[in-house]
Amino acid sequence: MASPPSLDDRRSAGSNVPDGRPDEDHGVLERAVPGLATPIRAVGFWAAIVLPAAYLPLLATGLSSALEGGLFLGLLAGNLLSLYVGHAHRR
């Protein structure tokens, strides 16, 4: 009687990429701008680390105006974007 496939076997069965991600998700940035993919990922990685420091003074003074609320949402969106772009830096 054969044993059921392990989780690793199921992950790699439908993918040609060693880390288990499907081909259509792997290397989108590399296909779009091949020469700039590595620097863009590095900037995204470091921006994701540095951007939360900008939240502190903004939150310390409060989000009392529409401008401060918009700035906070813009920082949050920028941080999420930088997390997404920079997550594969040095993998």
Interval 43-75: pLDDT, tens: 999 999 999 999 999 989 988 999 999 999 999
Q: What pLDDT, on a 0 to 100 scale, did the predictor assign at position 23? A: 46
Of residues 31 and 5, more confidently modeled: 31
Q: What pLDDT, on a 0 to 100 scale, did the predictor assign at position 2? A: 64
At a CB cut-off of 8 Å and minimum separation 6, what does 16 contact?
A: 23
Interval 7-54: pLDDT, tens: 555 555 544 445 555 444 457 888 888 889 889 999 999 999 999 999
Neighbours of 42 (CB within 10 A): 14
